[in-house]
Structure 1
Amino acid sequence: MKKFEVYKNIRKRAMIFGLPVSLFALLIVSIIASLLVIIFSFGLGIIAGVIIFNCGLYIVLIRMAQRPQLLQLTHTFPKIITNKKSTLLDYEEA
């Protein structure tokens, strides 16, 4: 009988409509806010603008999900790795 391992980190790579869960949540919040805008200020221009905005946001989020280096704002590793104790005392001033 075949045995399967339990994969506990499934949420790390979960995708909904091609987006990670966090970016999908951002898209859904934008859609809900857009629906509220449409309900409270009904107009043809607003409806068209909201649809264009949401489509544009989806395209931008898909591109960001395909290139994860765009989301990384800081360096992963420090420039210098050392075991030296960090202290503010300067022994060479005296």
Structure 2
Amino acid sequence: MKKYEVYKNIRKRAVLFGLPLSLFALMMCSILCSLMIIIFSFSLLMVISIPFCNAVLYVVLLNLERIKSYPIFGSQFPKQLSNKPKPLITYSTL
């Protein structure tokens, strides 16, 4: 009988080809644009150079993901959630 492992990384973010979804979408847009350029251009140089440019972009995006240097605009959620009302007077204001 076949055994299945429990998937424990459910809280990790989605990754496609080693890229998070936003960078993967950027890569797919680049590939679609390059396919349009290849279709409508009749130059052998373009046909050879565009896949090379896509490969370079993929390596750059992988390195950006590895060192986390692409811009992150902060967290969407607060660090702590609470239903307690905030007091008007705190110890620091006394």
Fold shared by both chains (TM-score > 0.5) = yes
5+ residue gaps, structure 2, are 1-9, 76-91
1:22-80 Cα deviation digits (max 9, x unpaired): 00000000000000000111221001110110000000000001111x1247899xxxx
5+ residue gaps, structure 1, are 1-6, 77-82, 85-94
- Give % identity: 38
2:70 corresponds to: 71
**CA distance, structure 2, for counterparts of residue 75 and residue 25 of structure 1:** 21
- Number of matched residues? 70
Q: Which runs of 4+ in 1 moved over 4 A?
A: 73-76
1:43 corresponds to: 43
TM norm structure 2:
0.63
**CA distance, structure 1, for counterparts of residue 47 and residue 40 of structure 2:** 11
**CA distance, structure 1, for counterparts of residue 60 and residue 31 of structure 2:** 15
Over the aligned positions, Cα root-mean-square deviation in angstroms equals 2.7
TM norm structure 1:
0.63
